[in-house]
A = this chain, B = another copy of it.
Amino acid sequence: MLDVPPAATHHPGLDALLLHHEVDKFNAAYAAALDEQRLADWVEMFTEDAFYVVISRENADKGMPVGLIYCDSKAMIHDRAFALEKTAMFAPRYLRHIIGNLQVLGEEERGAIRARANYVVIQVLYDRPDAKLHQVGVYHDVFRRVDGVLKLAERRCIYDNLLVDNALCLPV
């Protein structure tokens, strides 16, 4: 694993801005991969040892790690995605992510970049006119560069709500 950050500008504000933009672009690409049901691309956005969980705000506030989805490696994330591809991805629904309010909280030792962002996932059932707020919450993230490219080493998706008419645990 190489850690190749982009060229520095030697202006602290600009370097912070470039990093913010890099994470912002990552999140837009992440949302597009899920919205377009390109799950193989989605899996590739995680590091080999990535931690990915989807957990309720109530449980997160209580420090209870029990979640809807729990993966502690890219292999588990991959299995999850492929299981979905055989089921949910062909179910008649569209999803659309809006990721906003990005905060890059800092670059830590060993190149880990902590960030957070709010997310809204809107679900539309085929041939139905009404869109619904499927899931609303916050991402708590740790990014790392792998060969110069940002990857998610950790994404904890903490949702305020979960629409119960969706029996499937879709990734967000």
How many copies of this chain does one complex carry? Answer: 3
In the complex, whether A29 has a CB less than 8 A from a CB of chain B is yes
Return A54 CB to nearest CB of chain B, in Å.
15
Residues of A within 8 A of B (CB): 6-7, 9, 11-14, 17-18, 20-21, 25, 27-29, 31-32, 35, 57-58, 94, 96-103, 116, 118, 120, 122, 124, 126, 128-133, 135-138, 160-165
A86 to chain B, nearest CB (A): 20
User: Which residue of B25, B96, B101 is within 8 Å of A31 (Cβ)?
Assistant: B101
Contacts of A100 in B (CB 8 A): 98-100
Which residues from B are CB-within-8-Å of A135?
131
- Is the CB–CB distance between B103 and A32 below 8 Å? yes
In the complex, besides A31-B118, A32-B116, A98-B100, 19 extra interface pairs with C-beta distance below 8 angstroms are A7-B13, A9-B11, A9-B14, A20-B21, A28-B103, A29-B103, A96-B160, A97-B118, A98-B98, A98-B101, A98-B120, A100-B100, A120-B122, A122-B136, A122-B160, A128-B161, A130-B163, A131-B133, A131-B136
